[in-house]
Structure 1
Amino acid sequence: MDTKKRYDWVDAAKGISIILVVMMYAAHNVGKYTGETGFLHYVIGFATPFRMPEFFLISGLFLSQVIGRDWKRYADRRVVHYFYFYAVWVAINIVLKVGIAGRDPGAMLSDLAVAVVQPYGVFWFIYMLGVFSLAAKLAWQFRLPHWLVIAAAAGLQLAPIDVASYAVTQFCAYFVFFYLGYAASPLIFRFVEGAAARPLAAVLGLAAWAAAEAFLVFWPDGTLLPLDMKMGYAAFPPLHLTLAVIGAIALCVGSALLTKFTFMDWLRRLGQHSLAVYLAFTLPMSAIRIIAMKTGLTDTSLLSSLVLVGAVSAPVVLYLIVKRTGIATFLFERPAWAHIPGTPGSRNPAPVAAPAE
């Protein structure tokens, strides 16, 4: 297996994943104020079954390379890592939106406290990556067989469970995909690379999948709403779970095909820095929408597309400025104090070199 190609398609898949995430928020953010649906609503409607499952499945692909580490090093890399960035960016957003713009210090402090136990806003998926990594490590520690964990996680996903705790609700909805990415990673890599080696068959297969996906999502009563998507047959829980897994794999295959074209290298590069976009897209998204609407632009399709491009591009520009100037590096890199003592990157790292990931 070609390691470089493997990482290329994974990065491209991450690039598509972040575009889909920002696209959903951009479309819904615009739809909230225009009261209409646009072109991007159709794309997001089509991707509804697999959009977030794909994100979590890819996040679990390389877990097997680190899950056997001691608890300290594992927790630093797979738990503290995500919680640090969650804490930093949630604090920034709450302070700016509630404390400064909203001029409500009391609500700001309340939101900051609640965000510790209740995932805040669009940052819930960063929070859940830490929780999922912890749960997977516990399953490994207790030697639970993959089939048992997958069966239990699939049962939770099929329920579906919706409780007051957003963390519990999202755990039940998405842990199965994260764990599948981890447990089935060798099979996924073989399948994707095998499909990429037969591009004609892969394209035909993707076309057939896309047609079936569109039919099941929009038929017989699939409805696009400015802030949501009501699915057709795809809303049936067992079918929804199946479509989520198939769609996630299809997106990986499509990513592998796209890496064959040099002009698509931007997608791979975007995927390499997808965390920066995940963290920083919300503030420019709202700012661009507000400014554009003040100029008189109200066409939902055009406005949401503009917001999407700006919300993806702005964090990349910010990341490059931070890297070039060395100012505010804590936004995208954990400082030494934010590492568990004795782990790589901490003030007093252990003398043993960390294996490559």
Structure 2
Amino acid sequence: MTPIGTIAAGGGSKASPPARVDWVDYAKGICIVMVVMMHSVLGVELAAGEPGFMHGLVAFAKPFRMPDFFLISGLFLPLVIDRDWRIYLDRKVVHFAYFYVLWVTIQFGFKAPAFAAETSWRDAGLLYLESFIEPFGTLWFIYLLPIFFVVTKLTRRIPPLAIWLAAALLETARIATGWTAIDEFCARFVYFYSGYLFADYVFALSDRARRHPATALAALGAWALVNAALVAHDASEWPMVSLLLGFCGACAIVTMGTLLAHARRLNFLRFCGEHSIVIYLTFFLPMAATRTLLLRTGVVPDIGMTSLIVTIVGVIGALAIWQTALRLHAHFLFERPDAFWIAPKKTGPVLQAAE
């Protein structure tokens, strides 16, 4: 079996990286916590009918939360994109497809009774089948990644600048068809492709931040002020502004990850980054359970504090579910079984994950 937290076809920039790249784990840790926070806060506020103090944090992170995740996902593609299609599809498509099918089934199993109560079991079944066309719930990220990997490999003979400009135009066009895969592809592919195309520059940015931490901190402060101001004035989603904020925010997260790795602080974020997909797959359950419990009992009257608790439990609860599954030998929940490989397994050291 292969751990979901490591993609055998991973890599770094065109020079071979170490087994783990420390700042990347910190950056992914920051991003996955922000993802859990977003779903937790918005879910609590929707159920409660009022916002809390966490709402501002979610709004601040919106311009860069997913752009950074996709940019990092493309960073480790240069070393492996030339592999033959069988291996490439195994590592970049079958791998994610297995976990999408498994976890959409698990998530749907929890939600199906409510769906059936509102309509019928027949409609609930149709909704499940539709999830293979329209990504279900929080799982759209791993639904979209294989599409990005395949499109990038298929377009290798096209001038990269043309691909990048087309992707940037798609983001700026604010495509809204109502279909998640189409809309999110148009909005996010430019960041994934930029990670792939400009990987060396991203690693160079990290190196500069490590060498000049004071300058990096000053740049982070300036970025935070500008990002907050544009969000506060509802300008963060304007055409071109959103693209610029996405890239600036992604660079900021790279810089934060580098500084934290250099200082060896907040190792919990690094651990979360190493297991970001584990958290992504499972946080929905402890998050939803905690939200329901707190709102029904009213034990925490403040909406902001409720949102914060739900976020923390969502992250820690996801890791607890993962550990429990391993102790119960339910490895198939987080490791791809042998039967679902279509190419020989990697026998050398596993390189940095490219979720």
Which residue number in structure 1 is paired with residue 231 of structure 2? 217
Which residue number in structure 2 is paired with residue 105 of structure 1? 121
Which residue number in structure 2 is paired with residue 280 of structure 1? 282
Contact persistence 2:19–2:349 (CA under 8 A): no
Paired residue for 1:314, among 317, 339, 344?
Answer: 317
Which residue number in structure 1 is paired with residue 200 of structure 2? 186
* Alignment partner of 1:50 is 2:50: no
CA distance in 2, matches of 1:283, 1:318: 9
Which residue number in structure 1 is paired with residue 244 of structure 2? 242
* Alignment partner of 1:133 is 2:154: no
Q: Which amino acid aligns with 1:329?
A: H
Contact persistence 2:322–2:334 (CA under 8 A): yes
Which residue number in structure 1 is paired with residue 3 of structure 2? none
Shift of 1:6: 7.1
The secondary structure found in structure 2 opposite 1:29 is: helix
Change (3 A) 1:214 1:164: closer
Which residue number in structure 2 is paired with residue 344 of structure 1? 345
CA distance in 2, matches of 1:113, 1:335: 23
Moved more, 201-210 or 157-166: 157-166
Which residue number in structure 2 is paired with residue 227 of structure 1? none
Which residue number in structure 2 is paired with residue 254 of structure 1? 256
Which residue number in structure 2 is paired with residue 299 of structure 1? 302
Change (3 A) 1:330 1:6: closer
5+ long unaligned stretches in structure 1: 220-231, 346-352
Paired residue for 1:323, among 318, 323, 326?
Answer: 326
Which residue number in structure 1 is paired with residue 9 of structure 2? none
Change (3 A) 1:139 1:35: same
Change (3 A) 1:185 1:177: same
Shift of 1:151: 0.5
Change (3 A) 1:325 1:334: same
CA distance in 2, matches of 1:34, 1:178: 35
Shift of 1:41: 1.0
Shift of 1:128: 0.5
CA distance in 2, matches of 1:192, 1:355: 24
CA RMSD of aligned residues (A): 1.9
CA distance in 2, matches of 1:295, 1:100: 21
The secondary structure found in structure 2 opposite 1:234 is: coil
Shift of 1:132: 0.8
Q: Which amino acid aligns with 2:344?
A: T
Paired residue for 1:14, among 25, 28, 35?
Answer: 28
* Alignment partner of 1:151 is 2:152: no
Change (3 A) 1:240 1:53: same
Q: Which amino acid aligns with 2:345?
A: P
Contact persistence 2:283–2:314 (CA under 8 A): yes
Shift of 1:295: 2.1
Q: Which amino acid aligns with 1:255?
A: G
Change (3 A) 1:355 1:312: closer
The secondary structure found in structure 1 opposite 2:248 is: helix
Contact persistence 2:63–2:246 (CA under 8 A): yes
TM-superposition CA deviations, 1:139-172 (whole Å, max 9, x none): 12xx122211110111111111111322111110
TM-superposition CA deviations, 1:181-239 (whole Å, max 9, x none): 111011100111111211110001100110111111112xxxxxxxxxxxx22221111
Q: Which amino acid aligns with 1:23?
A: M
Change (3 A) 1:100 1:336: farther
* Alignment partner of 1:269 is 2:271: yes
The secondary structure found in structure 1 opposite 2:236 is: helix
CA distance in 1, matches of 2:315, 2:271: 13
Q: Percent identical across equivalent pairs?
A: 39
Which residue number in structure 1 is paired with residue 334 of structure 2? 332
Which residue number in structure 1 is paired with residue 103 of structure 2? 89
Shift of 1:354: 5.7
Q: How many pairs does the alignment contain?
A: 334
Shift of 1:22: 0.6
TM-superposition CA deviations, 1:254-285 (whole Å, max 9, x none): 11101123341121111001100000111211
Contact persistence 1:292–1:303 (CA under 8 A): yes
Contact persistence 1:12–1:256 (CA under 8 A): yes
Which residue number in structure 1 is paired with residue 6 of structure 2? none
Contact persistence 2:286–2:317 (CA under 8 A): yes
Contact persistence 2:19–2:350 (CA under 8 A): no
5+ long unaligned stretches in structure 2: 1-14
Contact persistence 2:71–2:195 (CA under 8 A): yes
Q: Which amino acid aligns with 1:217?
A: V
Shift of 1:322: 2.2
